[in-house]
Amino acid sequence: MNATLLERHPDGTAAERVAVVRRARRAPRRRRRLVLAGLSVLLLAVFAARVLLGDFTFTVPDFFRILLGAEIPGATFILMESKLPRAVLGVLVGVAFGVGGAIFQATLRNPLASPDVIGVSLGASASAVVAIVLAGLEGGAVQAAAVLGAVGAAVLVRLVAGPGGTHHLVLAGIGMAAALLSVVHYVFTRADVWDAQLVLRWLTGSVGAADWPTIRLLALALLVLLPLVARATRALPLLELGEETATGLGAGRHQADLVLLLAVLLTAVGVAAAGPISFVAFLAGPIARLLMGGRTTLVGAALVGAVVVVGADYVADYLLADINFPTGVVTGALGAPFLLWLLATGRTGRRVA
């Protein structure tokens, strides 16, 4: 019966119409492949620069020789205990923040709704510094406290915001972030000099203190989380159309909450490993979207996140001689103008057409 209606249609035969759809579907996919390939090459380049260049330069053959176990006095230590772990941790943390942030922004349909803006990352920080200074914990216990803190902050923001729109959530989150920041500041005043150094790391975030046990733990966490994320975010194209449309297209009742919980965990393990490197979660998704011409891409966000962290760490290390900035200071300097640009161009509300 359908055929009779479309037979007299001005858009030509069925085959011609299908050809139009195929063409329209092909262009974005080609762009996606190009962008992802470009970002991969860029990440490789930044990673190589971070590891090989700087005040101690390595040749590629030396790099592989050391990697395979050769002992070159001085060089082996610098590569294996400083440069390489910093770069690897940078990639892992960048992926965790990039994917976590992009999921938040897509699901909540607002670029401001990223975990580092709405208090999730600060939940991890506040919980960690309380654990260090007031409870006297250290090592793995602090990292566990950080993860719990992030989940706790996220749940609290959700409850405070209530069932309303994303706007409520962003406002509640910004309020929560402010409250948690004052907790960190309060703890800071109570800390002795040694602890104060640690607290500072939980405030800005840095991959400067990277060590292999932390990297192994984070890699393991990502190995568990990322496949779950890949499965759950098959619903992301629905969720970013809004809750009601998503339900109409078959999203389950708790699908958005599940996806967001995974994003909270990604952010939490990232913060637990390197502190809340400012604005990476906030920047990665929108930059990837911009490159893709307006399509949400988690793989793209992961790559952008990794490039930003590794690149920022390189800048932090070598921008000024003798001063080693925390990574978060550099990303913060990148993120602040971007936030202003978002506000100035009015893209912070619903992404209304």
What residue ranges bind another protein (CB under 8 A)?
1-2, 4-6, 9, 11, 14, 17-18, 20-25, 27-28, 106, 109, 237-238, 240-242, 244-245, 247-253, 289, 293-296, 347, 350-353
Nearer to another protein, 17 or 190 (CB): 17
Collapse the DSSP code of 171 into the 3-class scheme (helix H, G, I; strand E, B; otherwise coil) and give the result.
Answer: helix
Specify whether the backbone of 110 is left (phi greater than 0), alpha (psi in -120 to 50) or beta: beta
HSE (side-chain half, CA atoms, 13 Å) at 13? 2
Continuous H helices in the chain: 2-7, 14-52, 60-67, 75-78, 84-107, 120-129, 140-161, 166-190, 193-204, 212-232, 236-239, 243-248, 255-274, 280-291, 298-318, 327-344
Quote the least distance from Cβ 291 to another protein, whole Å.
Answer: 11
> Closest approach of Cβ 352 to another protein, in Å?
6
Nearest distance from C-beta of residue 10 to another protein, angstroms: 9
Least distance in Å: CB of 16 to another protein? Answer: 9
Q: What is the DSSP letter of 210?
A: -
Contacting residues for 99 by C-beta, under 8 A, at least 6 apart: 226, 229, 263, 266, 298, 301, 302, 305
Please answer whether residues 95 and 258 qualify as being in contact, where contact means their C-beta atoms are separated by less than 8 angstroms.
Answer: no
Q: Please identify, using beta-carbon distances, which residue of 20 and 320 lies nearer to another protein.
A: 20
CB of 228 to another protein, least distance (A): 14
DSSP 132: I
Residues 6+ apart with CB under 8 A from 60: 52
Cβ distance to another protein smaller for residue 49 or 339: 339
Nearest distance from C-beta of residue 109 to another protein, angstroms? 7
Residue number, 23 or 159, with CB nearest to another protein: 23
Q: Which is nearer to another protein, 176 or 238 (CB)?
A: 238
- Supply the minimum distance, in Å, between the C-beta of residue 348 and another protein: 12
Is the Cα torsion angle 287, 291, 292, 293 positive or negative in sign?
Answer: positive
Whose Cβ is closer to another protein: residue 35's or residue 150's? 35
- In the complex with another protein, the residue whose CB is nearer, 92 or 112, is 112
Structure tokens that stand for 167 in this block: 């706007």
